[in-house]
Structure 1
Amino acid sequence: MTTPFHLAFPVRDVEEARQFYGGILGCPEGRSAATWVDFNLYGHQIVAHLVRGYNAAASHNAVDGDPVPVPHFGAALTVDEFHSLAERLKWTMFFHDPSGNALEFKAMTNPDNLFAKYTVTD
């Protein structure tokens, strides 16, 4: 097993984040305070921090010919985990949380490719 990562990110509303990350994505909630809340995202700690008036900017970069939102975060899942999440969401696997943060969930048929070194040429 790899070492879990920790990611803190801004949200415009803590309760809204709870509903999205806990309710929709199914991330178990950990510690919390009035202005932040921890979630377990597939074994990694993500922390939603209140930033009043926050809304992520809509910017994109071309990756393999597709417009990918920047910034974004998510998880590289097993194929079964990916399909299970896709069935629950019925959405594209790039989506935004209520604060405009972009998340990506992807399936890896060969998980070793996640950190493979190569250069993409346009």
Structure 2
Amino acid sequence: MRNPYDACHIAVPARDLDEAMEFYVFGLGAKLARRYDDRITLDFFGDQLVCHLCEDVPDEAIAYPRHFGVSFAQAEDFDRLVRLVEHRKLRVLSGPAIRFEGTAEQHRTLFLADPSNNVIEFKNYDDPRMQY
């Protein structure tokens, strides 16, 4: 099973590494781990995100079926991210909003798009047991 030293690995295309770094590091606060000519590796909320230089990026930012993100266990962390997104005027696709209102799966959600149209979802469930 996963221990605190493990990290989920996510790889996405990036048309421009400077744009990707601006968005993820200076926008969302991810930490740059390494930079090469063809990719950047980031500490993205404790997991490994690699942005690979690629000409084949999505034409538009569409959340379904492909997106990635963070499910915050604490509401305060979600609230802090929303404030950061608003302050830094990051590209919001939708939200913050409530999904599945009135059900056990009720949660707040926020969808962003990076400069290469990769979609990132952040959410926080009212009932933390519903996170998985």
Given the two structures, how large is their TM-score scaled by the length of structure 2?
0.72
2:70 aligned residue: 75
Q: Which SS does the other structure have where 2:69 is aligned? A: strand
Counterpart residue type for residue 46 of structure 1 = L
* Distance in 2 of aligned mates of 1:20 and 1:69: 21
Moved over 3 A (4+): 56-59
Q: How many residues end up aligned between the 2 structures?
A: 107
Q: Following superposition of structure 1 onto structure 2, how do residues 20-59 of structure 1 map, counting pairs within 5 Å?
A: 20-59=23-62
Give ranges in structure 1 of 5+ residues lacking alignment.
Answer: 60-67, 116-122
Q: Which SS does the other structure have where 1:69 is aligned? A: coil
The answer to whether the Cα contact below 8 Å between 2:70 and 2:121 also exists between their aligned partners in 1 is yes
Q: Following superposition of structure 1 onto structure 2, how do residues 1-122 of structure 1 map, counting pairs within 5 Å?
A: 3-59=6-62, 68-77=63-72, 78-90=74-86, 91=92, 92=95, 93-115=110-132
Counterpart residue type for residue 76 of structure 2 = D
Give ranges in structure 2 of 5+ residues lacking alignment.
Answer: 87-91, 96-109
Kindly provide the CA deviation profile for residues 55-110 of structure 1, in whole angstroms up to 9, marking residues without a partner as x: 35554xxxxxxxx4331111001211110010011253101100001110001333
Residue range with higher mean Cα deviation, 34-43 or 84-93: 84-93
The answer to whether the Cα contact below 8 Å between 1:12 and 1:55 also exists between their aligned partners in 2 is no
Q: Which SS does the other structure have where 2:22 is aligned? A: helix
Identity percentage of aligned residues = 30
* Distance in 2 of aligned mates of 1:113 and 1:35: 38
Q: CA RMSD in A?
A: 1.9
Q: Which SS does the other structure have where 1:70 is aligned? A: coil
